[in-house]
Structure 1
Amino acid sequence: MKTLCISMLLICLLQTAKAQISGKVTTATGQPLGYVTTALIKAADSSSVKSMLTTEQGAYLFNNIQPGNYRLKLSSVGYQTWFSAPFKVNANSGAKSLAVIVMREDTRQLGEVVVKASKPLYQQRADGLVVNVESSLLTKGSTALQVLERSPGVIIDHRDNGISLNGKSGATIMINGKLVRMPPSQITALLNGTSADNIEKVELLSTPPAGYDAEGSAGIINIVMKKSRKQGTNGSYTLTGGYGQGEKATASLNLNSNTKNVNLYGSYIFSHDRTYTDLFITGSQNMPYIGGNTETAFYTKTKRISNNHNATLGADIKLDDKTTLSGSVLYNNSTSPNYTYSHADYTILPDSLLIYTGNINGTDKWNSVISSAGLERVLKQGEKLSFDADYIRYSNNSPKTVQSSFINKHGEQVYANNSVSAENQRGFANTTINVGVIKADYSNQLSEALKLETGVKGTRTGSSSASGIESFENGGWVRNMQTSANIYMKEEIGAAYLSLNWQANKALSVNAGARYEYSYTNMDDPKTGNNIVNRKLGKLFPTLLLTNKIGEQSELQLSYTKRIARPTYDDLASYFAYSDPTAVYTGNPFLQPTITNNIKLGYTNRDYSFSLLYSHDENAISRYQLTENATHDILFISPQNLPYQRYLTFQANLPFKAANWWDMTYSFTGGLRQFKETYTASPLTKSYFAYSFNFNQTFKLPKDFSAEVSGVYNSLFYNGTTRIDGFSTINAGIKKELKNRGSLQLSVADVFSTLQIHPRYGTLTREAFDIKSHVIVNTESRRFPIIKLSYTRSFGGSGSSAKNKSTKSTTDESERIRNN
């Protein structure tokens, strides 16, 4: 019986065995040519049977070919279309390898005409939304942070520079597929010092597959940088000058040298930005330290001068046809001297008055180095193994000096000898973070329909911080122990994932996977020897992404993901940073990680896309919440856990072509939100509706001019119990293409000076010290629009180029290979 079963199985296999055709495509110089459209067509009528794009190594593979007569047709921008001679496939042909195909440049296209691929600004995928930054004129002269602010569903909190995605805080930031492990305030500082000129696209991944880190309850924001693939030595430079309330300047240089086996690239960007922001607070509170029930009018203005240096150096080296070695170093240096003036009138009921004035001088110094090395080996057609190692170092030093005074209604100084409100104070905050990452990834195209991806990753983070506030009393500096901290943290995360991509039929594709992550977090105070946090956590994070094509131009997507948002170092550390005489920023060592479950349904038709996302967060982290210290005399501004947070979000992206010269894109993100909080004196559950609206319009004008107008409106939303009113901004730009391979561009940010933020405290429940206040935050452009003029010019060889190599080894293969 066993022999009979084996025989029948072999007969079935022989009957279903079909031919396989493979080969390789190169340029005239012998360099592999990737992303070439390769079609298998019938010899009789040239009708298409199967099609695909060649891999980065120029390889193609067709499986399960029925017997018949065929030809190959190859096409790519900048190259002449190539046809093979007819060939025959028999039932017993087996695997057939064709001769190397050499593509010839189409000199009619490459002589004087620059071929440009037009990408839509937004592209919907099963795992999220892609913003093609290069398609926007407003990119030139902008920072990475400004690009994010103009992206659908992304909100930058101008009070603290926090970043949220689809209304949720906790979005993970990645650069070129590598997790940026820094506190939120330092991430925004890095992005604000990074020029957008070098950004290719931004991926807003609400439901990323198992190959990505599970970190980030709101999803992942992956910033993909440009990498030139043009042959020869080439480059570009950009000079930008501008003004808002203060002067702006940016200078950038990009260089690339590509040969058959070696790709060298480097860039340097310097940016200078003098900015002004101010805020005005009115409200009431019951602060025992001040004197009880008080009405407050508080004004503060900050002037900051930021000088940023960004440098990148990297290389990709082909050791042989199957092995590539890569390495890169990204360096960022930022120095930002800042000055803040504050004035407050405290009316202590019924008739007492205190007048506070404060002058804060500080300098934020920031350095970061991100170094990476990788080795990729193609084991055989469709099978690949890669190794990556990263080392990241961040350091931040932020000293401050404070001169302040409290004057009563009689003109007498009070509280001068109190350590909290001494006339002269100084603060310090030094942080160093070291991160080491190693990972290995393996992928195997098991068959035409099934692909396996798996890998392991290890991350070790060590961070140390010393911070505190000292007061000058009785002729010497005295440290306030309530506002001092010295912390060392160690975190280790081990991860392993498995993912299967299955093309079930012509229409349906399935990506199913799981990622297991185990983390160990330990935080100590070296001076006292006290252990602050000791936490171990192991979790399985499953993912499922289904994509079903409906006809030639429509697609239905369904996905499920489970994710985690671990508290950052700043979230947990009991550090103290000066805010005002009665308040300090600090961490919360009792903070728990957030566990998120996401279910998303999406539909695309041509370039139109719609999606509905349900998200449930357990222990959601809400930052910058108001609590009282143990002695009830200082206000703590710290992160807190919400027992749960639920979102039902609808998103629509609608592009329209009003005329050959006029393109429009509209994006809407909105839905129902609900959260529960328990950290105030009167816990509550709140439900509300919130939304954001983005639009972008581009115009192709005569004489090589083009223009763009874009805008965003964010409705009222809540961050914990803090209410933030709606706000909006409109941006515009015009560009002139010059004949010397250059362009001139004028851009205006916040054309109508509408970007004003209105946080409100105490509107939902009783806050710490009975605070009820209305804050008005005036961004720089609120006073005057920010105007920038940029000149860009490219130089060097104009050889052929292929598409940029993916910077994420686990990028969905469906973006590269499409079999009909």
Structure 2
Amino acid sequence: MKTKTLYLNILCFLLMQNAFGQISGKLVTTDGKPLVFANVLLVKAADTSVVKNAQTNAKGIYRIEDIAAGTYKLRLSSVGYQTWDSPVFGINARTANKNFGTTIMQETTRQLGEVVIKASKPLYQQRPDGMVVNVESSLMTKGSSALQVLERSPGVVIDHRNNSINLNGKSGVMVMMDGKLMRIPMDQVMNMLSGMSAANIEKIELLSTPPAGYDAEGSAGIINIVTKKNKKQGTNGSFSATGGYGWGEKGTASFNLAHNTTNVNLYGFYTFSHDRTYTDLFITSTQNMPFLGGNVAVVFNSHTKRVQNDHNANIGADIKLGSKTTLSGNITYNSSNADYTTTNHALYNVLPDSLLTYDGLNTSQNSWNNLVSSVGIDQQINTGEKLSFDADYIYYHNDNPSQVQTTFVNKHGQVAGTNDSLNSPQQRGFAVTTIKVGVAKVDYTKQLSTKLKLETGIKGTYTTSSSSSGLESLLDNVWVKRTESANQIYMKEGIGAAYASFNSQISTSMNLTVGARYEYSYTDMDDPNTGKSLVNRKLGVLFPSILFSKKLSENAELQFSYSKRISRPTYNDLASYVGYSDPTAVYTGNPFLKPTITNNIKLGYNYRDYSFSLLYSRDDNPIARYQLSTGPSKDLLYISPQNLSYQSNFTFQVNLPFKINNWWDMTYSFTSGLSQFKGSGYSVFPFQKSYFIYTSNFNESFKLPKKYSLELSGWYNSQWYNGTTKIDGLGSLNAGIKKELNNNGGSFQLSVADILRSIRVHVHYGTLTQEPFNIKSYVDVRTESSKFPIIKLTYSKSFGSTRASGQAKQGAGDERDRLRKD
């Protein structure tokens, strides 16, 4: 009996020592509103060391679970509010759960002057249709460009060599700015983002399965860049200045101003950026090139210097015409001027004993202007019923003249080739493109019942594009136009769309959105010189979409989404032209390209701020750009876009934020999976490849004494394929330190990008399958930071009033991308 009592006492003791409990409660402000993102710390009563931590959710509720038996205190804090400490309490077998009820947080009585109080958000947030990157939550934002911030986002791969953006291992991404598709060539999209200050960005939405309200364009999904909208009443704004150096000087100046009243909101910003940079290109290759006499071993070196100046301006207004009517207008202007100087040197060792030497100097200027004007009106018909009309006009112009001076000689110094070929000693090129786009859309929403909402609308887009490009050779002191390289195209395209979407709140924990979008498009491309029709294509497709979410508990949620999407060939993809590469190769388009049809599925699970997702996609006829093939001239290599047969991706994505204590936060994001594709038709032999892909991102932020803060961040992308081309993995490590000045004196931030000098792009041709002319090449692209990290110093300051106000909707819906200029 005593033995049984002893065992029972020991068991009770062990259970008490290993007892797990939980605490919960709610924080509100003095006016009863939930206090979100407040810090909740569980500390030991003896030494106040942190045991666990949490943050309040959107309802101000917090919960900490799995607390071991012991004696504790609870500490609650938030910026702008007095810290609250609880009395000492215990967690044991008798008192395993403790609810602190509602705690009213008192505002600090110290005068804060013009300091802006802002609750921090998690760097990454998962949604049923994708992921949100809260750019303002990263120190590296200031001093960075929009393109650099995008490159540090989970699942995003920036291909600087081919001017493309991949999302979750797939090409075919469309980029939006404030819900408008950027209908300018992709290389100019990247140029614009590289010249845009990230300080003007609020968040980036990575939408892998957008709902029916979005355009169906973009087989890999949509990247929506949301700029900041100042919501404070009165006149207020901010300015920043950045200076930096890598291989050359860099500078950015940005100014943001807003004036908000009850009925009128006026806003605008201007950014100027300057960048002097360079790129080195090294190629070793073997090939059987008849033009050069047979088997050839090639060593090619290229050095490009670029000086680029960008101007970005925006001005807009939201005007309340009445209690139910809001008028919006917005004008955005972007311009860029880049001067390029490229020196090329190549040795062609024609086996067994001939040697050809090629030297070239290429100078070019790329100037473009882009104007987007928008007008919209929102009419609140009744409670839960709204009608919106939006219209956009887009104008884009690009001028890209170039001059090429070359020498191509044999080992005896004699000129190789004939004087009337593409290896003429002097050549000049021209490329002029003008694009005009008109967009109009009407959206209607109605709350049919307390649990059912209807969204429907129609949209029309009409685009005209004219382009002229070609090469001229200097022969006997006369510039002669190369007819095989001349290209003049006039294109018109129309896209009509209609969509409907039903959102049902099935229960308090379950939400379902089902929608469908129908798009009909026609594309007509003509040669104005001959009147010949180059492309005449009509296509009508239905694009269904499903979004489902189920709240499993207060902290857990299950999500499912499906969408069907399309990537139409861009206008330059379809155009038949010849662009000079070197004496043995030219760039061209492919009028026989088919559109890509994609089915995307996503299954997600969120637990608190942690998120886990499984994604599957199947692409039919995916477009791979810069593929090697033969063409009309059998002696030349043609570099052009081609259709693959299919591509399938199965990936797993995880986002893990950790709050170590009140001064140390970390976030880790991983995407990995299997990719498979197959191609035939343009290559020497059919090919197929299955390979493992992964990307990783991390961010570590530290709040230091005396208003200092520190951030370390990095990313790595594994190897991937663009058709038959293999690209090795690469990554970057970055750091930044920030100092907030007293009395609203602004802040200084020092950032260092690519600390390890690791951004070098390695490309392989001929490793997957036999290329035309049996080409086997290794390409080494060395960016500026591979020689020395890029260091930038930024000063920024906010000014004006601090009273918050509502902000009306800006501009139209979705428009502006699908053009490329390769």
TM-score (norm 1): 0.85
Q: Aligned with 1:228: secondary structure?
A: coil
Query: Deviation at 1:773?
Result: 0.3
1:212 aligns to what SS in structure 2? coil
Query: 1:416-442 CA distances to partner (integer Å, 9 max, x unpaired)?
Result: 503210000011110111110000001
Decide whether the 8 Å contact of 2:308 with 2:338 is kept in 1. yes
Structure 1 residue aligned with 2:172: 170
Residues 23-46 of structure 1 deviation map (CA, whole Å, 9 limit, x = unaligned): xxxxxxxxxx9x97699xxxxxxx
The answer to whether the 8 A contact 1:682-1:766 is kept is yes
Which of the numbers 713, 738, 741 marks the counterpart of 1:738? 741
Task: Please give the residue correspondences for 1:19-168 in structure 2 after superposition, counting only pairs within 5 Å.
Answer: 108=109, 111-112=112-113, 114-168=116-170
In 2, the alpha carbon distance for the partners of 1:77 and 1:437 equals: 44
- Matches of 2:411 and 2:117 in 1, distance apart? 73
C-alpha deviations, 1:154-179, integer Å up to 9, x for none? 10112122111001010011110011
Q: Residues 588-627 of structure 1: matches in 2 within 5 Å?
A: 588-627=590-629
Give how far 1:746 is off. 0.4
1:634 shift after superposition: 1.9
Is this contact kept in 2: 1:182–1:568, CA < 8 A?
A: no
Aligned residue in 2 for 1:295: 297
CA offset digits 1:580-625 (Å, max 9, x no partner) = 2222222111100000001110000111001001100000011111
Which residue is 1:638 aligned to?
A: 640
Report what 2:466 is aligned to.
464
Where 1:483 maps in the other structure, the secondary structure is: coil
Structural mapping, 1:256-335, within 5 Å: 256-335=258-337
CA distance in 2, matches of 1:807, 1:789: 34
2:706 is aligned to 703
1:690 is aligned, of 693, 699, 703, to 693
Structure 2 matches for 1:424-443, cutoff 5 A?
424-443=426-445
2:129 partner amino acid: D
Contact 1:227/1:804 (<8 A) preserved: no
- In 2, Cα distance between equivalents of 1:794 and 1:540: 48
In the TM superposition, residue 658 of structure 1 has moved relative to its aligned partner by: 2.0
CA offsets, 1:276-331, max 9 Å, x none? 10110001111111221100000001000000011101000011111100000010
Whether the 8 Å CA contact 1:199–1:224 is kept in 2: the answer is yes
Which runs of 5 or more structure 2 residues have no equivalent in the other structure?
Answer: 1-30, 37-56, 60-77, 83-105, 815-822
| 2:356 aligned partner | 354
Rate the CA distance shift 1:763–1:52 in 2: closer, same or farther, 3 A.
Answer: closer
Q: Which residue of 2 aligns with 1:198?
A: 200
Shift of 1:107: 8.9
Give the Å deviation of 1:715. Answer: 0.7
Aligned AA (1:763): T
CA distance in structure 1 between the partners assigned to 2:711 and 2:582 by the alignment:
42
Shift of 1:795: 1.2
Residue aligned with 2:671, SS: strand
Q: Secondary structure at the match of 1:116?
A: coil
Distance in 2 (CA, whole Å) between partners of 1:311 and 1:806 is: 16
Look up the equivalent residue of 2:721 and give its one-letter code.
Y
SS of 2:192 mapped into structure 1 = helix
| 1:412 Cα offset (Å) | 1.7
Instruction: Identify if the C-alpha distance between structure 1 residues 432 and 136 changes in structure 2 by more than 3 Å, giving closer, same or farther.
Output: same
Change (3 A) 1:79 1:657: closer
Letter in 1 for 2:784: E
Is contact 2:373-2:392 (8 Å) kept?
Answer: yes
Closer/same/farther in 2, CA of residues 200 and 662 from structure 1, 3 Å limit: same
Matched, 1:754 2:758: yes
Give the letter for the 2:316 counterpart: G
Distance 1:593 1:37 in 2: 49
TM-score norm. by structure 2 comes to: 0.85
Distance 2:79 2:228 in 1: 19
Residue aligning to 1:240: 242
- TM alignment of 1:501-580, pairs within 5 A: 501-580=503-582
Match of 1:229 in 2: 231
1:198 is aligned with what amino acid? Answer: N
Please name the residue that 1:675 is paired with: 677
Q: CA deviation at 1:232?
A: 0.3
Letter in 2 for 1:653: N
Decide whether the 8 Å contact of 1:183 with 1:569 is kept in 2.
Answer: no
Match of 1:395?
Answer: 397
String of CA shifts for 1:727-764, please: whole Å, max 9, x gaps: 11111101011124211000011011011010100001
Question: In structure 1, what is the Cα distance between the partners aligned to 2:221 and 2:576?
Answer: 27
Percentage of identical aligned residues = 62
Encode CA deviations 1:499-539: one digit per residue, 9 max, x unaligned.
01100011110000000000000000001111110000000
Aligned partners of 1:626 and 1:638 also within 8 Å: yes
CA distance in 1, matches of 2:653, 2:35: 35
1:358–1:404 CA contact under 8 A, matched in 2: yes
- Which SS does the other structure have where 2:742 is aligned? coil
> Mapping of 1:204-219 within 5 angstroms?
204-219=206-221
Q: Which amino acid in 2 is paired with 1:201? A: K
Q: Quick one: which amino acid aligns to residue 194 of structure 2?
A: N
Secondary structure of 1:414's partner? coil
Q: Is the 8 A contact 1:144 1:195 kept in 2?
A: yes
Q: Which residue of 2 aligns with 1:772?
A: 776
Q: CA deviation at 1:777?
A: 0.4
Aligned to 1:797: 801
Cα deviation digits, residues 187-220 of structure 1 (max 9, x gap): 2122122221101100000001000000000000
Contact 2:674 2:691 in 1 (8 A): yes
Q: Is the 8 A contact 2:233 2:804 kept in 1?
A: yes
Task: Say which SS state the counterpart of residue 767 (structure 2) adopts.
Answer: coil
CA RMSD, Structure 1 to Structure 2 (Å): 2.2
Is the deviation greater in 411-420 or in 531-540? 411-420
What is the letter of the counterpart of residue 454 of structure 1?
A: T
What SS does the corresponding residue of 1:148 show, helix, strand or coil? helix
Q: Secondary structure at the match of 1:333?
A: strand
For CA contacts below 8 A with separation 6 or more, give which structure has more relative contact order: 2
Query: Following the alignment from structure 2 to structure 1, what is the Cα–Cα distance between the partners of residues 811 and 202?
Result: 11
Contact 1:211 1:499 in 2 (8 A): yes
1:451 matched to 2:459? The reply is no
SS at match of 2:216: coil
Displacement of 1:364 in angstroms is 0.2
Deviation track 1:260-289 (CA, whole Å, cap 9, x = no partner) reads: 100000111100000110110001111111
The one-letter code of the counterpart of 1:762 is G
Letter aligned with residue 308 of structure 1 = D
8 Å contact 1:562–1:598 — kept in the other structure? yes
CA separation in 2, counterparts of 1:199 and 1:733? 18
Cα distance between partner residues in 1 of 2:336 and 2:159? 21
SS at match of 2:473: strand
Alignment check: 8 A CA contact 2:318 2:808 kept: no
Asked if structure 2 preserves the Cα contact closer than 8 Å seen for 1:622 and 1:639, the reply is: yes
Equivalent of 1:337 in 326, 336, 339: 339
* Secondary structure, counterpart of 1:413 in structure 2: coil
CA distance in 2, matches of 1:805, 1:745: 32
Identify if the C-alpha distance between structure 1 residues 600 and 107 changes in structure 2 by more than 3 Å, giving closer, same or farther: same
- The residue identity in structure 2 corresponding to 1:203 is E
Give the C-alpha shift of residue 575 in structure 1: 2.6
